[in-house]
Amino acid sequence: MTEAVLLTPGPLTTEAAVKAAMQVDWGSWDGAFNELTASVCRDLIAIVRAEPDHVCVPLQGSGTFAVEAALGTLVPRGGKVLVPDNGAYCKRIARILGYLGREAVVMPFAEHEAVSPGRIDAALAGDPAITHVALVHCETSTGILNPLTDIGAVVAAHGRRLIIDAMSSFGALPIDARVLAFDALIAASGKCLEGVPGMGFVIARRDALEGSAGQAHSLSLDLADQWQYLRKTGQWRFTPPTHVVAALRTAIDRYHAQGGREARLARYTKNCAALQDGMRALGFASFLPSALQAPIIVTFHSPPDPAYDFGSFYRRVRERGFILYPGKLTQVETFRVGCIGAIDSATLRRAVAAIGATVREMGIQRMAPR
């Protein structure tokens, strides 16, 4: 069976070397595995230039596990979190805070509207009880890019704490801890680093983490306890995802060999351009204006044609070797195509050709909304 190309924002298509790294079994208490974990954490910190004031805390599970761990550990029980909301993953943060019993102030934006630093400035000026701002850098439900540096400057100017969901941006889009103050930056193994899913991580400011002991709502999601144990023993508290860590080590090695963040962003940018140019030629309309579009995943309006059905469309494109992603918007019908993973612009052009053949096969004629 030919392996389909994943045009999704994670899991994503990985290199053969990354897959091969999972063929070795590791002992979770073994010194070699401890060094593997330590080397991965060192490199993750270095990618965002977060030495020496930050530490990396790896965590079993998906990226959402790490988001919940960061919120539940670093936000005190009496804390109040401002959540700018322009998509599904922003809403998930607010929902997590509800489960945790932490007060959330949701600041709504349209799904095609970037978060406004000015509105955050006004909200922080008007409510001194807000302790934290929890921001999604790249909102994967649309592909919109929020202005992280400007928002970080506003939060810092007010003396509040910033928690960043950088799930879809870490490793590709520029983030520099030397000029951006944050308590936590959260990402995962299966996104722009092109590893496999199964490990989240939090790059946390050391003094914030040290001051958070006893605040966590959960034993397994207690970042402070996870870090203290890792620091003392070199080991994870509970059974680690050994094969995922090994795959991530290889993925990071490949990342550096290929030119690091700048080269990865350049490849994803070319992928995005090839995708948008090709889809536009077919008659599809993208949801976002190009000025707000991150080169991570692109949302397209579904064709408003009676012949279009996403389930059939998805299946036929998959039969041609490409796996798309359903839409995640609340107001309009869409689907999404990812630009990340071990793929290049030629892959995206082949995907567009597969989509075009599917459109013709289904008899879809009206492509874009009026």
Q: Are 124 and 194 found together in one domain?
A: yes
Q: What are the helix (H) ranges across the chain? A: 16-20, 31-47, 63-74, 88-100, 117-126, 148-157, 206-210, 223-233, 242-257, 260-282, 310-319, 345-362
**Is 354 a member of any domain?**
yes
**Is 370 a member of any domain?**
no
Q: Cα(22)–Cα(97) distance, rounded to whole angstroms?
A: 35
**DSSP character at residue 14:** -
**Residue 184 C-alpha from the chain's centroid:** 14
Query: Domain with 285 in it: what CATH number?
Result: 3.90.1150.10
What is the pLDDT, as a whole number, of residue 370? Answer: 74
What is the pLDDT, as a whole number, of residue 328? Answer: 77
Q: Are 101 and 217 found together in one domain?
A: yes
What is the block-wise mean pLDDT of the chain (370 residues), using blocks of 10 residues?
Answer: 84 96 95 97 98 96 97 97 96 98 97 97 98 97 96 98 98 97 98 97 97 95 97 96 98 98 98 97 95 95 95 97 87 92 98 98 90
Contact 259, 236 (CB under 8 A): no
Domain residues for the domain of 305 are 5-9+259-362
Q: pTM of this prediction?
A: 0.95
What is the pLDDT, as a whole number, of residue 9? Answer: 84
Q: Are 201 and 106 found together in one domain?
A: yes
What is the pLDDT, as a whole number, of residue 2? Answer: 66
Which residues touch 199 (CB under 8 Å, ≥6 apart)?
Answer: 58, 59, 60, 61, 188, 189, 241, 244, 245, 248
Query: Domain with 130 in it: what CATH number?
Result: 3.40.640.10
What is the pLDDT, as a whole number, of residue 1? Answer: 47
**Is 235 a member of any domain?**
yes
Q: Are 313 and 234 found together in one domain?
A: no
What is the pLDDT, as a whole number, of residue 329? Answer: 77
Q: Cα(150)–Cα(312) distance, rounded to whole angstroms?
A: 43
Number of domains the chain is built from: 2
Q: Cα(280)–Cα(352) distance, rounded to whole angstroms?
A: 10
Q: Are 237 and 161 found together in one domain?
A: yes
**Is 369 a member of any domain?**
no
Answer positive or negative: Cα dihedral of 130, 132, 138, 142.
Answer: negative
Q: Cα(145)–Cα(139) distance, rounded to whole angstroms?
A: 7
Query: Rounded to 10 degrees, what is the CA torsion of 317, 337, 275, 14?
Result: -90
Q: Are 191 and 247 found together in one domain?
A: yes
Q: Cα(155)–Cα(316) distance, rounded to whole angstroms?
A: 47
Q: Are 150 and 263 found together in one domain?
A: no
139: nearest Cα among 83, 97, 58: 83
What is the pLDDT, as a whole number, of residue 336? Answer: 95
Residue type, position 9, single letter = P
Q: Cα(83)–Cα(62) distance, rounded to whole angstroms?
A: 21
Q: Are 230 and 280 found together in one domain?
A: no
**Is 367 a member of any domain?**
no
What is the pLDDT, as a whole number, of residue 42? Answer: 98
Q: Are 218 and 337 found together in one domain?
A: no
Q: Are 245 and 264 found together in one domain?
A: no
Q: Are 227 and 273 found together in one domain?
A: no
Q: Are 264 and 243 found together in one domain?
A: no
